[in-house]
Structure 1
Amino acid sequence: HQAAMSVYRLQRTHWNRSVSKFNPTLYRRSTHYNFVTNRNSVKTLKQITTTKLFELYKITFIQIHLKKATVFLNPAACKGKANHVFEKNAAPILHLELMDQTDMLIIAGVITGLLRRSLHVVSNNKVQHVISATLSILKGETVPLDVLQKKSETRQPVFALLGLRWGAFRDVTCSISNYWYLGLLKTRAAHWFSGLKQWPQTHQTSLSYLAPVPRPHDLPTEIPPGPNLLNRIYHRLKNYLNPTPPKEPKPELWENKDFSTLELTVSTNSKNPVKRREADSVLITLDPDSLTAGQFITEGTKKALNPMESVENALQIEACEGASFYDTDNEEYEAMSVEVTPLPRKLWFFCSAECREQLAQAQC
């Protein structure tokens, strides 16, 4: 009885010490439980992946020639743990595939000069994402993506996968990190302070563009056999003796317009690469300059999450080629006159069958 009373007095007098000792115990137990659960999940995922890999290995070993991949990795990605994640999850799968010849490039990071864009993908389950991407590479499942080529008079060409942005929303995006101390309100605060400094934030731009061109027919997967030697000699002699007159190129019908806009965006049609389009073009979006201060903050907050999302009542133009004044794939450049040319289906990206089905079901 006396021992129980002494414990009661200790708890009543020094309750904060008891709570502080009790909390780390709970934290250690919960941490150990989460660690064991995550470890078991990763182990189960790797076992399933190994089974799929050996099934794939039996098929590919018989049907196709083995391939070797060269991996470009940005070790600074994933908070400096990209190399560890790759070596632990992706590299063993690639080694199990027994690749022998260099036939493909796998880019996982920022490769300046090859393609100026960060290729990392934000995912809550990094292990599952890395393993799924690696299996897609081994299966050879790909989708074509358009590329934008941007030329200026003073710089070398720059290539983009998403698009170009120039305007008020892009300028505010660069200053959002300055208001980190406001937490979740930093995005709205950045737009509010930007509106106090200058309003209205309209931009004058001169735009010249060509109409979209029809998409050429897809090349056959199997190359048909060529004509025999006698037919080739006959056609060579016929073209030499009776050459066809050269056709005069049709003049390009450029449309020139001046706009007053809040932001100009030039984007590719790679949002849904599975959908087939009848024409090769880029999408030019001009946000209206008639927004109120409240609408500017609301729409700017949305654009901070999805930069390529257009504002309501925005003017959209499809063009084959354009010249204007930017931000390329979230990389800042000095504003100047530039020429933008789409390169349709320039790159083929690895894509899993599940992702293809999701893209095919999308509306846009």
Structure 2
Amino acid sequence: MSIFRSFKIIRENWKKSTFAVVVITWGVSYTKNYLKTDEIMKSYCEKAALYGKGTISVQASPRSITVILNPNANKRKAATEFEKFCAPLLNLAGLSVEVIKTESEGHAKNLMETLGTVDSIVVAGGDGTLSEVVTGLLRRTNENSKTLIPLGVLPLGLHNTVGRSLFPGEKKIGKIKSLADATMAVIEETMKPMDVMKIEILNEEENKKPVYAVAEIKWGAYRDAEMKKERYWYFGGLKKYATYLFSGLKSSLTWECQAQLLFSPPCTGCSNCHRIQMSQLKSKWFQRYMKEDENELKFKQIHNPQCLQKIEKAISTTDLTVFTSNVIPSQIKGTEVPKLQVNIGPEKVDYLEFVKQGWKSELGETRNICEAIEARTIEIDPSNVAKSGNELWFSIDNEDYEVKPIRVTLLPGILNMYCKKEMLK
């Protein structure tokens, strides 16, 4: 009898009952996540404390790291998440930590020019902050890898392409573990060489400095849609799907990417490409008289005529992406020849296919590719910029750059970045 009475009460007060169920469900989920987070952080804190209890020589100083923190990253959540999940581990490990917060776009790049002596730099932010720091470092050292200090990344941004490849982790709990793994990699000093793309503007009267990227260059309709994703915030967790449903109807997307490509094939290192690289590095008079090391002598003895080969190709596509090996899954272990990979999508795509392929990419799958090109250097000369009335944009590590003719050069293994121990096996 009491069961029927309960059902009657619920039926007569269904709004209150529904609200109560939602609140209870949210409370159970919140408590579960809180306890799981507490358990994960306790485990990592115990691990970090072991390093803090270690002894160092009386003459030695504690390891010093400089954290370049972008407080605006991930909708201004980055600073809070750093203090909550990363800073406790660094402090328990006994590291001397200096946190510098960026104040505007380009600030991280400028900071690298005035940075003093530190043991390592840790980027706390997303792809854009990482690209700025790498650009500042390589401009400062003139691409001399011998003078580059180790670099870490704490994936605290909205876009974490490199951070996600080094420290995988999705959703709330997965992200916390990813941040803890990234922090422990800095503490444990486990590093691997990472490739960098050097991007230079061609046919430019001004002598503009190059930009450096660690992940990818994107151009086309899918790139434009991705950049508009935050406009659909009111869809909550469904915004990534709504993005393609609504953007696919707009003519403002770059549906036609026409360009002339000029590229050279990948090379493991030879007298030709090494000579070009060294001529760029030794641009200052005193560097020309520096003693050659073993690597320079080794490459001088390797002859590869194909390295100087230039292949020309005209393309017309809705989707063009240039990747480094850092974010190509098959190359993460670094067992293959260093290369850039250029993925060329279909020339045209209808609305339904655009939505389907967009959703596919949001699930971590590769969109349809008509052709993949492997290269060491590549020039991209867009031919439809003057014809188009719309503004056309590249994304370089998820930062906007106006579409212009560019040269992309691979700098293999030039950076030493902190990574998980498992990636070294």
Deviation string for 1:128-182 (max 9, x for gaps)? Answer: 3332222121111122221111111254312212221222332343445556677
Q: 1:334 aligns with which of 402, 419, 422?
A: 402
Which residue of structure 1 lines up, in the alignment, with residue 346 of structure 2? 288
| AA of the residue aligned to 1:44 | E
Which residue of structure 2 lines up, in the alignment, with residue 214 of structure 1? 268
| AA of the residue aligned to 1:124 | K
CA distance in 2, matches of 1:131, 1:198: 41
Comparing both chains, which one has the higher relative contact order based on Cα–Cα distances under 8 Å and sequence gaps of 6 or more?
1
**Which residues of structure 1 form unaligned runs of 5+?**
217-235, 237-248
* Shift in CA distance, 158/306, structure 1 to aligned 2, threshold 3 Å: farther
CA distance in 1, matches of 2:171, 2:234: 25
1:162 aligns with 2:185: no
Give the match's secondary structure for 1:275: coil
Q: Is the 8 A contact 1:180 1:186 kept in 2?
A: no
* Shift in CA distance, 60/167, structure 1 to aligned 2, threshold 3 Å: farther
Q: CA deviation at 1:254?
A: 1.9
CA distance in 2, matches of 1:304, 1:55: 39
Q: CA deviation at 1:55?
A: 3.7
Q: 1:262 aligns with which of 318, 323, 326?
A: 318
Give the match's secondary structure for 2:325: coil
* Shift in CA distance, 29/123, structure 1 to aligned 2, threshold 3 Å: closer
CA distance in 2, matches of 1:30, 1:200: 43
Which residue of structure 2 lines up, in the alignment, with residue 226 of structure 1? none
CA distance in 1, matches of 2:354, 2:231: 19
| AA of the residue aligned to 1:277 | E
Q: Is the 8 A contact 1:75 1:82 kept in 2?
A: yes
CA distance in 2, matches of 1:139, 1:150: 32
Q: CA deviation at 1:269?
A: 1.1
CA distance in 2, matches of 1:87, 1:331: 26
Which residue of structure 2 lines up, in the alignment, with residue 124 of structure 1? 172
Q: 2:249 aligns with which of 187, 193, 197?
A: 193
Q: CA deviation at 1:30?
A: 5.5
Give the match's secondary structure for 1:212: coil
| AA of the residue aligned to 2:172 | N
Residue pairs, 1:1-364, within 5 angstroms: 15-16=12-13, 33-57=28-52, 61=56, 66-100=62-96, 102-109=118-125, 110-111=128-129, 113-115=132-134, 119=160, 123-125=171-173, 126-152=175-201, 153=204, 154=206, 155-175=208-228, 186-190=242-246, 192-194=248-250, 197=251, 201-215=255-269, 252-271=308-327, 272-278=331-337, 280-289=338-347, 291=349, 293-303=351-361, 306=364, 309-312=366-369, 314-325=370-381, 326-354=394-422, 356=423
Which residue of structure 2 lines up, in the alignment, with residue 230 of structure 1? none
* Shift in CA distance, 210/60, structure 1 to aligned 2, threshold 3 Å: farther
Q: CA deviation at 1:282?
A: 0.9
* Shift in CA distance, 170/60, structure 1 to aligned 2, threshold 3 Å: farther
Which residue of structure 2 lines up, in the alignment, with residue 243 of structure 1? none
* Shift in CA distance, 305/148, structure 1 to aligned 2, threshold 3 Å: farther
Q: Is the 8 A contact 1:169 1:303 kept in 2?
A: no
Q: CA deviation at 1:286?
A: 1.9
Give the match's secondary structure for 1:114: helix
Q: CA deviation at 1:310?
A: 4.6
CA distance in 2, matches of 1:26, 1:316: 51
How many residues get paired? 310
* Shift in CA distance, 65/201, structure 1 to aligned 2, threshold 3 Å: same
| AA of the residue aligned to 1:114 | V
Q: What TM-score comes out, normalization by structure 1 length?
A: 0.69
Q: CA deviation at 1:264?
A: 2.3
Max Rg structure: 1
| AA of the residue aligned to 1:346 | I
Q: Is the 8 A contact 1:179 1:189 kept in 2?
A: no
* Shift in CA distance, 130/166, structure 1 to aligned 2, threshold 3 Å: closer
Q: Is the 8 A contact 1:191 1:296 kept in 2?
A: no
Q: CA deviation at 1:191?
A: 5.1
Q: CA deviation at 1:67?
A: 1.4
Q: CA deviation at 1:81?
A: 3.1
Deviation string for 1:233-281 (max 9, x for gaps)? Answer: xxx9xxxxxxxxxxxx989332222223332222111124323223x32
CA distance in 2, matches of 1:277, 1:169: 29
* Shift in CA distance, 147/15, structure 1 to aligned 2, threshold 3 Å: same
* Shift in CA distance, 40/284, structure 1 to aligned 2, threshold 3 Å: closer
CA distance in 2, matches of 1:290, 1:37: 47
Q: What TM-score comes out, normalization by structure 2 length?
A: 0.60
CA distance in 1, matches of 2:396, 2:51: 39
Give the match's secondary structure for 1:344: strand
CA distance in 2, matches of 1:203, 1:142: 38
Q: Is the 8 A contact 1:60 1:66 kept in 2?
A: no
- Of stretches 112-121 and 133-142 in structure 1, the one that deviates more from structure 2 is 112-121
Give the match's secondary structure for 1:214: coil
* Shift in CA distance, 324/198, structure 1 to aligned 2, threshold 3 Å: same
* Shift in CA distance, 305/156, structure 1 to aligned 2, threshold 3 Å: farther
Q: Is the 8 A contact 1:322 1:340 kept in 2?
A: yes
* Shift in CA distance, 296/123, structure 1 to aligned 2, threshold 3 Å: closer
